Amino acid sequence: MFSLPLSNRLILFISLIILLSVDDIPVAVAQNPKYSIYEQYGVLFCTGETEVALQNNKGAEKLIRNDMDTAIAVFSKGLQHAPLFYPFLYNIGIAYMRKREFDSARVYLEKAMHIVTENKKIYITEFLNFFI
């Protein structure tokens, strides 16, 4: 049976994840008749003009621009008012991962995973978080 060394398997796996997670086309994650949550560049955005949607989109823009500290501050402030809002939890987890603060990332991604179990990317992200 053919077997690759662990380091090569991780590199291959991470490459596959990056390939699957880079989206140029927004994909709807959740929606109702009024609002929707969509993914762009691996970050969750919201439609609508609610306070939480605007707060999330502000943090998501910072996350896309690689301003991790500001993004984390924005999401943390949002979580004080909406502690179970899935985009806040997911996006702050992604921000911590990009800062390589994996323990903090795991906390938020696991919370997000329990709220929206249908998002398969979060399971992959958690898997990577475990091995890195």
Instruction: Please give the tally of structural domains in the chain.
Output: 1
| Residue 71 belongs to a domain | yes
DSSP assignment letter at 27: E
The sign of the CA dihedral 109, 113, 115, 118 is positive
Where residue 58 sits, what CATH number does that domain have? 1.25.40.10
CB of 116 closer than 8 Å to CB of 31: no
| Cα-based angle 126, 4, 7 (whole degrees, multiple of 5) | 50
Q: What string of pLDDT tens digits covers the 132 residues of the chain?
A: 445 565 555 555 555 555 455 444 444 555 555 678 888 888 999 998 899 999 999 999 999 999 999 999 999 999 999 999 999 999 999 999 999 998 898 899 889 888 877 766 655 555 555 555
pLDDT number for residue 117 = 74
7 C-beta neighbours (distance < 10 Å), count:
8
The answer to whether residue 23 sits within a structural domain is: no
Tell me if 26 is assigned to some domain: no
